[in-house]
Structure 1
Amino acid sequence: MVIMIKLEQNYLCLECDKEFKNELKLAVCPECLKKEIENYKKGIPPKYVTVSLFLKKNKA
């Protein structure tokens, strides 16, 4: 008999240290991502590579 256990991993946001479920595989939580998107629209580059790649890919 095989028993499978699904473990949920929570991550810490590098920006605000808040624990969150990392569904997008980014360095920041959804709230901080919103701030990064607003800054990106103003011409301020993201602090983290994963966020930068995400924004360029999704043309935020």
Structure 2
Amino acid sequence: MLNSPPLQHCDEEAERRDVDSVVRAGPSGAVTVAAIATAIVVACWFAFYLFVFLPRGS
């Protein structure tokens, strides 16, 4: 079992400033991952359309 040191109580103002700085940074990493995943899905859809549907129709 891992033992961690007891939590130090800090003042609420410092904690609020820390939380505000994290929230201000925003979820840019999550947005980037979502954009990459969306681009991959759209690319797969176009590849499927170009290499499967178009050759069958012509």
TM bin (shorter chain): under 0.3
Q: Which structure has more RCO (C-alpha within 8 Å, separation ≥ 6)?
A: 1
Name the structure with the higher helix share: 2
Name the structure with the higher strand share: 1
The TM-score, its normalising length taken from structure 1, stands at: 0.25
* Larger of the two Rg values belongs to structure: 2
The TM-score, its normalising length taken from structure 2, stands at: 0.26
